[in-house]
Chains A and B, each alone.
Chain A
Amino acid sequence: MSVAVKTAPPFPPLRRSPQLTGALSVLAGIALWQVFYDGLARTDYFQAYAINHFFVSPWQVVQSFADLYQSGELVRNCYFSFLEFFYGFLLAIAIGVPLGFLMATQEKLNNFLDPWVSCIYATPRVALAPIVVVWFGLGILPSSLIVFLGAVFPILLNTYTGIKSVRRNLIDVVRAFGGSPWQIFLKVMIPDATPAIITGMRLAVGRAVIGVVVAELFGAEAGLGFMVYLYSQRFMPGPVFVGIVVLVVFGIAAFVALDKLQRWVSPWYAFQLQQQVQGLEME
């Protein structure tokens, strides 16, 4: 049987590539934004409505970035926000995964915890931020707790779903061949539920980022949310956009990293479950 070898065309057709259109769209959009701002700056409205107090041009964002970077402010604020994110996220994994596992396997525990979990899940947890700050004061701890509150539920619920949907016949096979409960846990349940758990973590990243910035609004001396709030009070929108850009880049990087992890840890996984839990993104 002959195998048809597909050779790539020497020049891929440029016109139809969605990536190229996308890149062009972004570049054109930024250019348009700059032109629009410069044009606006020449009109009377600019002074009358104090537009530079809340609107910036892309070039000003770049300048703000350079200024903040040179003064060391950006690095310092990123460092504190990252610490809060890291501690909160770690705590969310450390509590969400075991609790999700226990709730999926112990029906009694699930019956008792379910009303509380549903209730707190339906509440926007960022609303608790001011109260947590009153309880725990300023600094990293309250912010980390808000991050934890935001991130723990997607992780918990996805662990629960993942363990619940472990294929029954796999467990039966291991048991039929004399596998101990410990072996079933380690060789079947954990590997089969891992993709869902990582999906939960991916969903949790966005929640955690929001948690960081909202918590810093109330009681912080450093951090990206603090920086954004400070400069918006001084009517300097440049640093606000710098903060947003940094957080977008961080969010996407964390998302991609977890996606890679997922494909690396469970390459057999067909990614159907992913779609199932994608909708969990309430809030």
Chain B
Amino acid sequence: MNAIAAAYRAREKTFDAVLSVVFGLLIWQLVDAFLIHNPLVAVGPARIAEAFVNLYARGEIARHVATTFGEFILGYAVGAVVGIALGVLMALNRTIKNVINPWVTIAYNAPVILLAPLFITALGVGIVSKIAIVFISAVFPVLFNTYAGITTVDARLVEAVRSFGGTPRQVFFKVTLPSSVPMLMTGLRLSVGRAIVGAIVSEFFGSRAGIGYLISAATEAFRTADAFVGVAILAVGGYVTFELLKYAERRIAPWYESKV
């Protein structure tokens, strides 16, 4: 008995987490089985797993995940490149910064998702309109964090390199750029969430495939379990991406302790 207690105490947090998840799923399943008999409302973990297996067997999962992932990765990649480029430009040239700043501030704070129906009208119901929405959702956090990373560089480091005869080019490539990397990575990580929301919501507005389509089509047909499959995929995908980028951040800039 003592051994068990000792083992528990050694890894209390992990045990508690596992217990919590198991109990939570159990209660959820019991509510589904005994309390609420409406499959529209109460979909327990068992029903969701069953729906997942069915959808997977029909190849639906692969189709929807591939579509949403394609929209996400293309829009995100272009957004990241443009965001970094504009952020560097804004940080290096004050006139450019003053001219662009009000526009990016407005666009950053605007619910750009509302433009999705217009993009769909303009670019069609396919993947292109979603890529555009993902792009404008992802570009601004990258831009702002790149800008902040470059402008908040430690002045002492710059002075040190300069006093040892470093050229402006050397200062930029040896000091400014490396020391802006952690914030840049933070920006890239923050855009992920926005980009996923952009993809999903623009699929809500009109699409033929994708996880957002799966969710909205399933709820319209009152197949709540299928909708939960979509949500579960997003939960896992979001969590994995977030952790991967956190890991990358630690590897690329181990000296920097992210506060987020």
Contact = CB atoms under 8 A, between A and B. Distances in A.
A108 B235 CA distance: 25
A100 interface: no
Contacts of A120: 235
B205 A217 contact: yes
A232 B110 contact: no
A248 interface: yes
A209 B219 contact: no
Nearest to A279: B260
A241 to B, nearest CB: 9
Contacts of B205: 217, 229
B227 A130 contact: yes
A246 B70 CA distance: 32
A54 B124 CA distance: 11
B238 A123 contact: yes
Contact of B117 (A23, A233, A277): A233
B114 A244 contact: yes
B159 interface: no
Contact of A127 (B122, B190, B212): B212
Contact of A111 (B16, B94, B95): B16
Contacts, number: 173
Given A111-B17, A232-B117, A122 B242 contact: yes
Contact of B230 (A23, A118, A127, A210): A127
A133 B220 CA distance: 10
25 contacts: A18-B101, A21-B95, A25-B99, A26-B102, A26-B103, A111-B13, A113-B20, A123-B231, A130-B204, A130-B220, A131-B219, A131-B224, A131-B231, A134-B224, A213-B114, A214-B113, A217-B204, A218-B219, A237-B121, A247-B110, A279-B258, A279-B260, A281-B141, A282-B193, A283-B193
